[in-house]
Structure 1
Amino acid sequence: MQPVGAVAPLRVDIAEKTFRSAQGVSVTALKDLSFEVRHGEFACLLGPSGCGKTTTLRILLGLEKDFTGSFRLPGGEHNRVAAVFQEPTLLPWRTVEENIRLALPKSLRQTDLDSLFQTLGLSTMRSLYPSELSLGLARRVALARAFATEPAVLFLDEPFVSLDEQTAERLRYLLLSVWSARPTTALMVTHNVREALMLSDRIIVLSPRPGHVRGVFDVRLPRQYRNPQVMSDLGRSFREKFADVL
Protein backbone atom coordinates (compact mmCIF):
# COMPACT_ATOMS: atom_id res chain seq x y z
CA MET A 1 0.00 0.00 0.00
CA GLN A 2 1.26 3.48 -0.87
CA PRO A 3 2.02 5.65 2.21
CA VAL A 4 -0.37 8.56 2.72
CA GLY A 5 0.86 11.60 0.83
CA ALA A 6 3.41 9.69 -1.21
CA VAL A 7 3.48 10.00 -4.97
CA ALA A 8 2.56 6.75 -6.71
CA PRO A 9 5.29 5.06 -8.74
CA LEU A 10 5.15 4.43 -12.45
CA ARG A 11 3.57 0.99 -12.58
CA VAL A 12 3.57 -1.21 -15.70
CA ASP A 13 1.60 -4.45 -16.08
CA ILE A 14 1.39 -5.36 -19.76
CA ALA A 15 -0.06 -8.84 -20.17
CA GLU A 16 0.48 -8.99 -23.92
CA LYS A 17 1.19 -6.83 -26.93
CA THR A 18 1.03 -8.37 -30.39
CA PHE A 19 1.21 -6.88 -33.85
CA ARG A 20 0.99 -8.12 -37.40
CA SER A 21 4.16 -8.04 -39.48
CA ALA A 22 4.38 -6.82 -43.07
CA GLN A 23 4.12 -10.48 -44.10
CA GLY A 24 0.86 -10.84 -42.17
CA VAL A 25 2.40 -12.92 -39.38
CA SER A 26 1.25 -12.30 -35.79
CA VAL A 27 4.22 -11.35 -33.60
CA THR A 28 4.11 -11.16 -29.80
CA ALA A 29 6.30 -8.21 -28.81
CA LEU A 30 5.63 -8.20 -25.04
CA LYS A 31 4.36 -10.90 -22.68
CA ASP A 32 3.79 -10.56 -18.90
CA LEU A 33 5.87 -7.39 -18.62
CA SER A 34 5.69 -5.96 -15.09
CA PHE A 35 7.88 -3.40 -13.34
CA GLU A 36 7.85 -0.22 -11.27
CA VAL A 37 9.84 3.00 -11.35
CA ARG A 38 9.79 4.73 -7.99
CA HIS A 39 9.02 8.42 -7.61
CA GLY A 40 12.05 10.54 -8.49
CA GLU A 41 14.01 7.56 -9.77
CA PHE A 42 15.93 7.45 -13.05
CA ALA A 43 15.53 3.97 -14.54
CA CYS A 44 16.77 2.51 -17.80
CA LEU A 45 14.99 -0.12 -19.86
CA LEU A 46 17.67 -2.22 -21.52
CA GLY A 47 17.61 -5.33 -23.65
CA PRO A 48 18.51 -6.83 -27.02
CA SER A 49 17.26 -5.31 -30.27
CA GLY A 50 13.63 -6.12 -30.99
CA CYS A 51 12.70 -7.02 -27.42
CA GLY A 52 9.96 -4.38 -27.14
CA LYS A 53 11.69 -1.47 -25.35
CA THR A 54 10.37 1.23 -27.65
CA THR A 55 6.99 -0.50 -27.90
CA THR A 56 6.73 -0.27 -24.11
CA LEU A 57 7.40 3.47 -24.21
CA ARG A 58 4.83 3.94 -26.98
CA ILE A 59 2.23 2.19 -24.83
CA LEU A 60 3.04 4.40 -21.84
CA LEU A 61 2.79 7.51 -24.04
CA GLY A 62 -0.61 6.43 -25.33
CA LEU A 63 0.68 5.93 -28.88
CA GLU A 64 -0.08 2.20 -28.80
CA LYS A 65 -3.52 1.35 -27.45
CA ASP A 66 -4.03 -2.17 -28.76
CA PHE A 67 -2.65 -4.26 -25.88
CA THR A 68 -3.88 -6.20 -22.89
CA GLY A 69 -2.90 -5.10 -19.40
CA SER A 70 -2.62 -1.75 -17.67
CA PHE A 71 -0.22 0.91 -16.48
CA ARG A 72 -0.31 3.77 -14.00
CA LEU A 73 1.60 7.00 -14.39
CA PRO A 74 2.79 9.00 -11.38
CA GLY A 75 0.67 12.04 -10.59
CA GLY A 76 1.64 14.29 -7.73
CA GLU A 77 0.70 17.94 -8.20
CA HIS A 78 0.12 17.38 -11.91
CA ASN A 79 0.27 14.56 -14.40
CA ARG A 80 2.26 16.12 -17.22
CA VAL A 81 4.25 13.68 -19.33
CA ALA A 82 7.28 14.65 -21.43
CA ALA A 83 9.16 12.60 -23.99
CA VAL A 84 12.47 12.86 -25.82
CA PHE A 85 12.66 10.75 -28.96
CA GLN A 86 15.50 9.60 -31.19
CA GLU A 87 14.82 12.56 -33.50
CA PRO A 88 14.53 16.09 -32.02
CA THR A 89 11.33 16.87 -34.04
CA LEU A 90 11.73 20.65 -33.87
CA LEU A 91 9.54 23.01 -35.90
CA PRO A 92 11.89 24.46 -38.57
CA TRP A 93 10.06 27.81 -38.76
CA ARG A 94 10.35 28.45 -35.01
CA THR A 95 13.41 29.57 -33.06
CA VAL A 96 15.00 27.49 -30.32
CA GLU A 97 13.16 29.41 -27.61
CA GLU A 98 9.85 29.35 -29.49
CA ASN A 99 10.12 25.57 -29.97
CA ILE A 100 10.56 25.16 -26.23
CA ARG A 101 7.86 27.58 -25.11
CA LEU A 102 5.29 26.15 -27.52
CA ALA A 103 5.36 22.92 -25.51
CA LEU A 104 4.52 24.67 -22.24
CA PRO A 105 1.03 24.72 -20.72
CA LYS A 106 -0.49 28.19 -20.42
CA SER A 107 0.37 28.35 -16.73
CA LEU A 108 4.09 28.06 -17.56
CA ARG A 109 4.28 30.13 -20.77
CA GLN A 110 6.07 33.02 -19.01
CA THR A 111 8.41 30.85 -16.93
CA ASP A 112 11.98 32.10 -16.61
CA LEU A 113 14.03 29.53 -18.51
CA ASP A 114 17.42 31.22 -18.09
CA SER A 115 18.85 28.57 -15.76
CA LEU A 116 17.65 25.74 -18.01
CA PHE A 117 19.23 27.34 -21.07
CA GLN A 118 22.43 27.93 -19.15
CA THR A 119 22.64 24.34 -17.86
CA LEU A 120 22.23 22.97 -21.38
CA GLY A 121 24.59 25.49 -22.98
CA LEU A 122 21.84 27.11 -25.06
CA SER A 123 21.93 30.67 -23.70
CA THR A 124 23.43 32.17 -26.86
CA MET A 125 21.28 30.08 -29.21
CA ARG A 126 17.77 31.09 -28.19
CA SER A 127 17.08 32.98 -31.42
CA LEU A 128 18.59 30.41 -33.78
CA TYR A 129 16.48 28.19 -36.04
CA PRO A 130 16.79 24.37 -36.17
CA SER A 131 18.55 24.53 -39.56
CA GLU A 132 21.35 26.47 -37.86
CA LEU A 133 21.95 23.75 -35.25
CA SER A 134 24.06 20.61 -35.30
CA LEU A 135 22.30 17.37 -34.42
CA GLY A 136 23.90 17.46 -30.97
CA LEU A 137 22.57 20.98 -30.32
CA ALA A 138 19.13 20.03 -31.61
CA ARG A 139 19.11 17.15 -29.12
CA ARG A 140 19.88 19.67 -26.35
CA VAL A 141 16.86 21.70 -27.42
CA ALA A 142 14.71 18.57 -27.27
CA LEU A 143 15.92 17.95 -23.70
CA ALA A 144 15.21 21.56 -22.75
CA ARG A 145 11.70 21.34 -24.20
CA ALA A 146 10.96 18.23 -22.14
CA PHE A 147 12.28 19.57 -18.83
CA ALA A 148 10.68 23.01 -19.29
CA THR A 149 7.23 21.45 -18.96
CA GLU A 150 8.08 20.32 -15.40
CA PRO A 151 6.79 16.80 -16.08
CA ALA A 152 5.66 14.27 -13.50
CA VAL A 153 7.33 11.60 -15.62
CA LEU A 154 9.92 11.82 -18.39
CA PHE A 155 10.32 9.19 -21.11
CA LEU A 156 13.46 9.05 -23.25
CA ASP A 157 13.80 6.77 -26.27
CA GLU A 158 17.51 6.40 -27.07
CA PRO A 159 17.95 10.20 -27.25
CA PHE A 160 21.68 10.02 -28.07
CA VAL A 161 21.59 7.32 -30.74
CA SER A 162 23.47 8.08 -34.01
CA LEU A 163 25.71 10.66 -32.30
CA ASP A 164 29.46 10.20 -32.15
CA GLU A 165 30.58 8.95 -28.73
CA GLN A 166 32.20 12.23 -27.68
CA THR A 167 29.03 14.22 -28.38
CA ALA A 168 26.84 11.56 -26.80
CA GLU A 169 28.96 11.53 -23.64
CA ARG A 170 28.75 15.31 -23.34
CA LEU A 171 24.95 15.13 -23.66
CA ARG A 172 24.74 12.40 -21.02
CA TYR A 173 26.46 14.70 -18.56
CA LEU A 174 24.16 17.56 -19.54
CA LEU A 175 21.14 15.30 -19.04
CA LEU A 176 22.37 14.41 -15.57
CA SER A 177 22.94 18.08 -14.75
CA VAL A 178 19.47 19.20 -15.73
CA TRP A 179 17.77 16.13 -14.21
CA SER A 180 19.63 16.66 -10.90
CA ALA A 181 18.46 20.28 -10.85
CA ARG A 182 14.87 19.31 -11.80
CA PRO A 183 14.49 15.70 -10.59
CA THR A 184 11.52 13.79 -11.93
CA THR A 185 10.59 10.15 -12.45
CA ALA A 186 12.40 9.09 -15.62
CA LEU A 187 12.42 5.98 -17.79
CA MET A 188 14.95 5.80 -20.60
CA VAL A 189 15.24 3.18 -23.34
CA THR A 190 18.79 2.31 -24.29
CA HIS A 191 20.81 -0.56 -25.73
CA ASN A 192 24.04 0.90 -24.32
CA VAL A 193 25.11 -0.79 -21.06
CA ARG A 194 27.65 1.88 -20.18
CA GLU A 195 25.08 4.63 -20.74
CA ALA A 196 22.61 2.86 -18.46
CA LEU A 197 25.22 2.37 -15.73
CA MET A 198 26.24 6.02 -15.91
CA LEU A 199 22.75 7.53 -15.79
CA SER A 200 20.42 5.28 -13.85
CA ASP A 201 19.49 4.25 -10.34
CA ARG A 202 18.13 0.95 -11.64
CA ILE A 203 18.41 -0.94 -14.90
CA ILE A 204 15.39 -3.01 -15.88
CA VAL A 205 16.65 -5.75 -18.20
CA LEU A 206 14.27 -7.24 -20.75
CA SER A 207 14.50 -10.69 -22.29
CA PRO A 208 14.54 -11.30 -26.04
CA ARG A 209 11.10 -11.15 -27.70
CA PRO A 210 8.53 -11.51 -26.35
CA GLY A 211 9.91 -8.99 -23.88
CA HIS A 212 9.47 -9.51 -20.15
CA VAL A 213 11.63 -8.53 -17.19
CA ARG A 214 14.68 -10.76 -17.04
CA GLY A 215 15.99 -9.03 -13.94
CA VAL A 216 16.89 -5.73 -12.29
CA PHE A 217 20.35 -4.31 -11.68
CA ASP A 218 20.49 -1.68 -8.92
CA VAL A 219 23.19 0.98 -9.20
CA ARG A 220 23.28 2.19 -5.61
CA LEU A 221 26.52 4.16 -5.84
CA PRO A 222 25.99 7.95 -6.10
CA ARG A 223 26.73 9.21 -9.60
CA GLN A 224 29.63 11.42 -8.50
CA TYR A 225 31.55 8.28 -7.50
CA ARG A 226 31.09 6.48 -10.81
CA ASN A 227 34.61 7.08 -12.07
CA PRO A 228 36.13 5.05 -14.96
CA GLN A 229 37.39 2.27 -12.67
CA VAL A 230 34.06 1.99 -10.87
CA MET A 231 32.21 2.00 -14.21
CA SER A 232 34.46 -0.81 -15.42
CA ASP A 233 33.69 -2.85 -12.29
CA LEU A 234 29.95 -2.17 -12.61
CA GLY A 235 30.04 -3.21 -16.25
CA ARG A 236 31.77 -6.46 -15.37
CA SER A 237 29.23 -7.24 -12.66
CA PHE A 238 26.37 -6.43 -14.99
CA ARG A 239 27.63 -8.64 -17.79
CA GLU A 240 28.26 -11.53 -15.43
CA LYS A 241 24.64 -11.36 -14.29
CA PHE A 242 23.04 -10.87 -17.71
CA ALA A 243 25.46 -12.51 -20.14
CA ASP A 244 22.72 -14.74 -21.49
CA VAL A 245 20.51 -11.78 -22.39
CA LEU A 246 22.93 -9.35 -23.98
Structure 2
Amino acid sequence: MQPAGVAAPLKVDIRDKTFRSAEGVSIVALRGLSFQVRQGEFACLLGPSGCGKTTTLRILLGLDRQFSGSYQLPEGGSNRVAAVFQEPVLLPWRTVEQNVRLALPARVRDRDLDPLFDILGLSPMRSLYPSELSLGLARRAALARAFATEPAILLLDEPFTSLDERTAERLRHLLMTVWAARPTTALMVTHNLREALLLADRIIVLSPRPAQVLGIFDVGLSRPLRDAPALDNLISDFHKTFPDAV
Protein backbone atom coordinates (compact mmCIF):
# COMPACT_ATOMS: atom_id res chain seq x y z
CA MET A 1 0.00 0.00 0.00
CA GLN A 2 0.97 3.60 -0.44
CA PRO A 3 1.48 5.85 2.57
CA ALA A 4 -1.80 7.18 3.89
CA GLY A 5 -0.42 10.71 4.07
CA VAL A 6 -2.25 12.00 7.14
CA ALA A 7 -0.78 14.01 9.97
CA ALA A 8 0.20 11.23 12.37
CA PRO A 9 3.22 9.39 13.71
CA LEU A 10 5.18 7.10 11.44
CA LYS A 11 3.34 3.78 11.50
CA VAL A 12 4.80 0.60 10.03
CA ASP A 13 2.98 -2.72 9.71
CA ILE A 14 4.77 -4.97 7.24
CA ARG A 15 3.28 -8.45 7.27
CA ASP A 16 5.73 -9.98 4.83
CA LYS A 17 8.61 -9.06 2.54
CA THR A 18 10.12 -11.94 0.59
CA PHE A 19 13.00 -11.86 -1.88
CA ARG A 20 13.79 -14.42 -4.53
CA SER A 21 17.49 -15.19 -4.86
CA ALA A 22 19.32 -15.64 -8.16
CA GLU A 23 18.99 -19.39 -7.57
CA GLY A 24 15.22 -19.04 -7.22
CA VAL A 25 15.17 -19.55 -3.45
CA SER A 26 12.63 -17.52 -1.45
CA ILE A 27 14.20 -15.48 1.36
CA VAL A 28 11.90 -13.92 3.94
CA ALA A 29 13.40 -10.55 4.93
CA LEU A 30 10.57 -9.16 7.09
CA ARG A 31 7.62 -10.85 8.76
CA GLY A 32 5.22 -9.25 11.21
CA LEU A 33 7.28 -6.07 11.54
CA SER A 34 5.20 -3.46 13.35
CA PHE A 35 6.26 -0.26 15.14
CA GLN A 36 5.59 3.46 15.44
CA VAL A 37 7.80 6.54 15.69
CA ARG A 38 6.22 9.52 17.41
CA GLN A 39 6.20 12.93 15.76
CA GLY A 40 9.41 14.82 16.49
CA GLU A 41 11.13 11.72 17.86
CA PHE A 42 14.56 10.44 16.86
CA ALA A 43 14.35 6.64 16.76
CA CYS A 44 16.88 4.00 15.76
CA LEU A 45 16.25 0.63 14.16
CA LEU A 46 18.89 -1.56 15.75
CA GLY A 47 19.57 -5.10 14.64
CA PRO A 48 22.23 -7.48 13.32
CA SER A 49 23.61 -7.10 9.81
CA GLY A 50 21.32 -8.58 7.19
CA CYS A 51 18.21 -8.60 9.37
CA GLY A 52 16.18 -6.33 7.06
CA LYS A 53 16.79 -2.82 8.40
CA THR A 54 17.74 -1.28 5.04
CA THR A 55 14.91 -3.18 3.35
CA THR A 56 12.52 -1.47 5.75
CA LEU A 57 13.86 1.97 4.81
CA ARG A 58 13.60 1.14 1.10
CA ILE A 59 9.93 0.32 1.61
CA LEU A 60 9.32 3.58 3.48
CA LEU A 61 11.07 5.51 0.70
CA GLY A 62 8.83 3.89 -1.90
CA LEU A 63 11.79 2.17 -3.55
CA ASP A 64 10.40 -1.31 -2.89
CA ARG A 65 6.68 -1.89 -3.38
CA GLN A 66 6.74 -5.69 -3.45
CA PHE A 67 5.57 -6.41 0.09
CA SER A 68 2.39 -7.12 1.99
CA GLY A 69 1.28 -4.72 4.68
CA SER A 70 1.12 -0.96 5.02
CA TYR A 71 2.88 2.10 6.34
CA GLN A 72 1.89 5.67 7.09
CA LEU A 73 4.29 8.59 6.90
CA PRO A 74 3.89 11.73 9.01
CA GLU A 75 3.16 15.08 7.45
CA GLY A 76 4.29 18.52 8.52
CA GLY A 77 6.10 21.53 7.14
CA SER A 78 7.13 20.64 3.60
CA ASN A 79 5.58 17.13 3.80
CA ARG A 80 8.83 15.95 2.24
CA VAL A 81 10.71 12.75 2.97
CA ALA A 82 14.48 13.17 3.18
CA ALA A 83 17.04 10.38 3.18
CA VAL A 84 20.72 10.07 4.01
CA PHE A 85 22.34 6.92 2.66
CA GLN A 86 25.57 5.07 3.37
CA GLU A 87 27.10 6.90 0.40
CA PRO A 88 26.69 10.69 0.08
CA VAL A 89 25.36 10.45 -3.53
CA LEU A 90 26.38 13.98 -4.51
CA LEU A 91 26.35 15.17 -8.12
CA PRO A 92 30.05 15.44 -9.04
CA TRP A 93 29.55 18.33 -11.49
CA ARG A 94 27.79 20.50 -8.88
CA THR A 95 29.30 22.38 -5.96
CA VAL A 96 28.36 21.62 -2.38
CA GLU A 97 25.91 24.50 -2.29
CA GLN A 98 24.41 23.58 -5.65
CA ASN A 99 23.91 19.99 -4.49
CA VAL A 100 22.06 21.20 -1.43
CA ARG A 101 19.91 23.76 -3.26
CA LEU A 102 18.92 21.30 -5.99
CA ALA A 103 17.01 19.32 -3.36
CA LEU A 104 14.77 22.32 -2.67
CA PRO A 105 11.57 23.10 -4.58
CA ALA A 106 12.22 25.78 -7.20
CA ARG A 107 10.11 28.38 -5.37
CA VAL A 108 12.37 28.30 -2.28
CA ARG A 109 15.70 27.52 -3.93
CA ASP A 110 17.02 30.93 -2.85
CA ARG A 111 16.32 30.18 0.84
CA ASP A 112 18.93 31.42 3.31
CA LEU A 113 21.06 28.38 4.12
CA ASP A 114 23.79 30.21 6.03
CA PRO A 115 22.71 28.92 9.49
CA LEU A 116 22.59 25.32 8.23
CA PHE A 117 26.03 25.52 6.60
CA ASP A 118 27.40 27.17 9.74
CA ILE A 119 26.09 24.43 12.05
CA LEU A 120 27.62 21.73 9.88
CA GLY A 121 30.91 23.58 9.41
CA LEU A 122 30.42 23.71 5.65
CA SER A 123 30.54 27.46 5.05
CA PRO A 124 34.13 27.41 3.72
CA MET A 125 33.31 24.45 1.43
CA ARG A 126 30.21 25.79 -0.30
CA SER A 127 31.99 26.33 -3.64
CA LEU A 128 33.93 23.06 -3.61
CA TYR A 129 33.05 20.03 -5.74
CA PRO A 130 32.51 16.55 -4.26
CA SER A 131 35.89 15.36 -5.59
CA GLU A 132 37.54 18.01 -3.42
CA LEU A 133 35.90 16.75 -0.21
CA SER A 134 36.89 14.07 2.25
CA LEU A 135 34.27 11.39 2.87
CA GLY A 136 33.42 13.03 6.19
CA LEU A 137 32.81 16.40 4.54
CA ALA A 138 30.78 14.78 1.76
CA ARG A 139 28.55 13.22 4.39
CA ARG A 140 28.11 16.59 6.03
CA ALA A 141 26.94 17.90 2.66
CA ALA A 142 24.47 15.00 2.43
CA LEU A 143 23.13 15.92 5.87
CA ALA A 144 22.81 19.56 4.80
CA ARG A 145 20.88 18.52 1.70
CA ALA A 146 18.46 16.45 3.80
CA PHE A 147 17.80 19.09 6.46
CA ALA A 148 17.54 21.95 3.94
CA THR A 149 14.20 20.57 2.72
CA GLU A 150 12.75 20.81 6.25
CA PRO A 151 11.33 17.30 5.85
CA ALA A 152 8.38 15.82 7.70
CA ILE A 153 10.50 12.71 8.21
CA LEU A 154 14.21 12.01 7.91
CA LEU A 155 15.39 8.47 7.13
CA LEU A 156 19.06 7.60 7.66
CA ASP A 157 20.70 4.36 6.53
CA GLU A 158 23.92 3.90 8.54
CA PRO A 159 25.23 7.32 7.43
CA PHE A 160 28.50 7.01 9.37
CA THR A 161 29.58 3.56 8.24
CA SER A 162 33.15 3.12 6.90
CA LEU A 163 34.33 6.32 8.63
CA ASP A 164 37.09 6.23 11.21
CA GLU A 165 35.64 6.44 14.72
CA ARG A 166 36.91 9.98 15.38
CA THR A 167 35.24 11.34 12.25
CA ALA A 168 32.08 9.32 12.86
CA GLU A 169 31.82 10.61 16.43
CA ARG A 170 32.15 14.20 15.28
CA LEU A 171 29.44 13.69 12.65
CA ARG A 172 27.11 12.09 15.20
CA HIS A 173 27.39 15.19 17.37
CA LEU A 174 26.89 17.44 14.33
CA LEU A 175 23.79 15.45 13.40
CA MET A 176 22.37 16.00 16.87
CA THR A 177 23.22 19.71 16.74
CA VAL A 178 21.45 20.29 13.43
CA TRP A 179 18.53 18.02 14.40
CA ALA A 180 18.05 19.98 17.65
CA ALA A 181 18.01 23.21 15.63
CA ARG A 182 15.64 21.76 13.01
CA PRO A 183 13.74 18.98 14.82
CA THR A 184 11.89 16.48 12.68
CA THR A 185 10.71 12.90 12.99
CA ALA A 186 13.75 10.74 12.30
CA LEU A 187 14.39 7.02 11.86
CA MET A 188 17.96 5.80 11.57
CA VAL A 189 19.21 2.30 10.77
CA THR A 190 22.29 1.10 12.64
CA HIS A 191 23.86 -2.02 14.10
CA ASN A 192 26.09 0.11 16.37
CA LEU A 193 24.57 0.04 19.88
CA ARG A 194 26.67 2.90 21.26
CA GLU A 195 25.71 5.07 18.29
CA ALA A 196 22.03 4.31 18.83
CA LEU A 197 22.27 5.11 22.54
CA LEU A 198 24.03 8.40 21.81
CA LEU A 199 21.49 9.60 19.24
CA ALA A 200 18.07 8.08 19.86
CA ASP A 201 15.12 8.87 22.09
CA ARG A 202 14.02 5.25 21.66
CA ILE A 203 15.63 2.19 20.10
CA ILE A 204 13.50 -0.30 18.16
CA VAL A 205 15.31 -3.61 18.62
CA LEU A 206 15.00 -6.09 15.76
CA SER A 207 15.52 -9.83 15.62
CA PRO A 208 17.71 -11.61 13.07
CA ARG A 209 16.08 -12.16 9.67
CA PRO A 210 13.17 -12.21 9.18
CA ALA A 211 13.05 -9.00 11.20
CA GLN A 212 10.50 -8.65 13.96
CA VAL A 213 10.46 -6.19 16.86
CA LEU A 214 12.01 -7.76 19.95
CA GLY A 215 11.12 -4.72 22.02
CA ILE A 216 11.65 -1.00 22.59
CA PHE A 217 14.46 0.49 24.67
CA ASP A 218 13.65 3.96 25.99
CA VAL A 219 16.97 5.75 26.48
CA GLY A 220 15.46 8.08 29.07
CA LEU A 221 18.51 10.34 29.47
CA SER A 222 18.90 13.81 28.00
CA ARG A 223 21.55 14.00 25.30
CA PRO A 224 23.84 16.47 27.11
CA LEU A 225 24.24 13.86 29.87
CA ARG A 226 25.22 11.03 27.54
CA ASP A 227 28.96 11.11 28.18
CA ALA A 228 31.19 8.01 28.03
CA PRO A 229 30.40 6.70 31.56
CA ALA A 230 26.67 7.27 31.03
CA LEU A 231 26.80 5.41 27.70
CA ASP A 232 28.60 2.51 29.39
CA ASN A 233 25.79 2.33 31.95
CA LEU A 234 23.16 2.49 29.20
CA ILE A 235 24.91 -0.33 27.32
CA SER A 236 24.82 -2.43 30.48
CA ASP A 237 21.12 -1.68 30.99
CA PHE A 238 20.40 -2.51 27.36
CA HIS A 239 22.12 -5.91 27.56
CA LYS A 240 20.21 -6.73 30.72
CA THR A 241 16.96 -5.96 28.89
CA PHE A 242 17.95 -7.59 25.59
CA PRO A 243 20.63 -10.18 26.42
CA ASP A 244 20.51 -11.83 23.01
CA ALA A 245 20.27 -8.68 20.84
CA VAL A 246 23.01 -7.35 18.55
TM-score by length of 2: 0.96
Shift of 1:79: 1.7
Distance 1:127 1:74 in 2: 34
Q: Which runs of 4+ in 1 moved over 3 A?
A: none
Aligned to 1:203: 203
What secondary structure, in the 3-state scheme, does the structure 2 residue paired with 1:94 have?
coil
Gaps (5+ residues) in structure 2?
1-5
Shift of 1:78: 3.6
- 1:97-116 CA deviation, whole Å, 9 max, x = no partner? 00000010123211100000
Shift of 1:142: 0.2
Aligned to 1:138: 138
State whether residues 157 and 190 of structure 2, in contact with CA within 8 Å, keep that contact through their aligned partners in structure 1: yes
Distance 2:222 2:7 in 1: 23
Alignment of 1:97-246 (within 5 A): 97-246=97-246
State whether residues 7 and 39 of structure 1, in contact with CA within 8 Å, keep that contact through their aligned partners in structure 2: no
Distance 1:227 1:178, change over 3 A: same
Aligned residues: 241
Distance 2:23 2:178 in 1: 44
Identity of aligned residues (%): 71
TM-score by length of 1: 0.96
State whether residues 108 and 149 of structure 1, in contact with CA within 8 Å, keep that contact through their aligned partners in structure 2: no
Distance 1:153 1:77 in 2: 10
Distance 1:231 1:211, change over 3 A: same
State whether residues 15 and 30 of structure 2, in contact with CA within 8 Å, keep that contact through their aligned partners in structure 1: yes
Aligned to 1:3: none
Aligned to 1:75: 75
What secondary structure, in the 3-state scheme, does the structure 2 residue paired with 1:32 have?
strand
Task: In structure 1, give the amino acid aligned to 2:197.
Answer: L
Aligned to 2:3: none
* Segment drifting more, 80-89 vs 100-109: 100-109
State whether residues 40 and 185 of structure 1, in contact with CA within 8 Å, keep that contact through their aligned partners in structure 2: yes
Task: In structure 2, give the amino acid aligned to 1:161.
Answer: T
State whether residues 86 and 161 of structure 2, in contact with CA within 8 Å, keep that contact through their aligned partners in structure 1: yes
What secondary structure, in the 3-state scheme, does the structure 2 residue paired with 1:63 have?
coil
Gaps (5+ residues) in structure 1?
1-5
- 1:149-170 CA deviation, whole Å, 9 max, x = no partner? 0000000000000000000000
* Segment drifting more, 60-69 vs 217-226: 217-226
